[in-house]
């Protein structure tokens, strides 16, 4: 259905249909609350490996990235060594971050982006985009591979990689994701959760707003096809969908 052929009804009819949809929206809200509770009851995995990251403050371990807090959210940002710029979709995710971090801190949550690119390349792209959030380089460590967002040539040789908890085709050797960690009072770190594919939309608050509008995402020509780096949008964006993001959403 397109806006040009959309039904137009009386206010009373609209209210009746809106209330029916509201009942479904409340079902979704309750289901989200239920799933959030189930997520919190997942078992944890102790992180035994000592990961060291390159940061503007010098080398830091995974435990250091908590910055004194007990919870840590990591955005696995697709920026590989030698890349000219970060993934469009991951950048779209990151555009929502700076406004969140002050609020996350009030819930005892630290936040950091981690990429495999060397720190100098990360810092160059970060300056271009005007971001302030923490961003570390995992270059030289196995962190990205261990958490399922980077793939070796051997991984990709068979045509499929293990991503989002299943073997599937993926067009790049870097992939998007979000991982969550907990640090206890003894300093032990635990992996509590990771989400990939369309799960990363949890960071894409703009999509929630877009989904409220009559045209919605309008992505028939390719998932995230309209998204650009925020400094690369045309003044009057075309309505025609483009080819799609480098990390276009997968189910």
Q: For 121-170, what is each residue's pLDDT tens digit?
A: 999 999 999 999 999 999 999 999 999 999 999 999 989 999 999 999 99
Quote the domain boundaries for residue 112: 46-203
Q: Please indicate, yes or no, if residue 80 is contained in any of the structural domains.
A: yes
Token pair belonging to 208: 């929630």
Q: Any idea what the CATH number is for the domain that residue 108 is in?
A: 3.40.30.10
Q: Please indicate, yes or no, if residue 30 is contained in any of the structural domains.
A: no
Q: For 68-93, what is each residue's pLDDT tens digit?
A: 999 999 999 999 999 999 999 999 99
If one counts the domains in the chain, the total is: 1
Q: Please indicate, yes or no, if residue 163 is contained in any of the structural domains.
A: yes
Q: For 176-212, what is each residue's pLDDT tens digit?
A: 999 999 999 999 999 999 999 999 999 999 999 999 9
Q: Please indicate, yes or no, if residue 2 is contained in any of the structural domains.
A: no
Q: Considering Cα of 54, then 170, then 207, then 32, what sign does the dihedral take?
A: negative
Residue 76 in contact with residue 178, Cβ under 8 Å? yes
Q: Which helix (H) or strand (E) holds 137?
A: strand 135-137
């Amino acid at each position: 259905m397109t806006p040009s052929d959309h039904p137009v009804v009386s206010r009373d009819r609209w209210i009746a249909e809106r209330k029916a949809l509201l009942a479904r929206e409340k079902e979704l809200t309750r289901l989200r609350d239920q799933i959030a509770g189930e997520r919190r009851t997942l078992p944890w995995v102790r992180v035994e490996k000592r990961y060291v990251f390159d940061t503007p403050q010098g080398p830091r371990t995974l435990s250091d990235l908590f910055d004194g807090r007990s919870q840590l959210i990591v955005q696995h940002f697709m920026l590989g060594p030698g890349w000219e710029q970060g993934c469009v979709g991951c950048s779209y995710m990151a555009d929502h971050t700076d406004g969140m971090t002050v609020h996350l801190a009030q819930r005892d949550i630290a936040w950091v982006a981690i990429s495999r690119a060397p720190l100098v390349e990360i810092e160059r792209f970060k300056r271009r985009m005007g971001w302030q959030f923490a961003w570390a380089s995992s270059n030289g460590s196995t962190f990205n591979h261990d958490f399922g967002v980077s793939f070796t040539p051997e991984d990709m040789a068979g045509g499929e990689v293990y991503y989002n908890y299943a073997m599937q085709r993926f067009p790049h050797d870097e992939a998007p994701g979000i991982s969550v960690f907990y640090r206890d009072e003894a300093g032990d770190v635990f992996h509590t959760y990771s989400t990939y594919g369309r799960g990363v939309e949890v960071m894409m608050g703009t999509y929630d707003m877009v989904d409220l509008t009559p045209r919605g995402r309008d992505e028939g020509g390719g998932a995230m096809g309209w998204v650009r780096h925020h400094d690369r949008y045309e003044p009057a964006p075309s309505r025609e969908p483009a080819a799609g993001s480098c990390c276009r959403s997968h189910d």
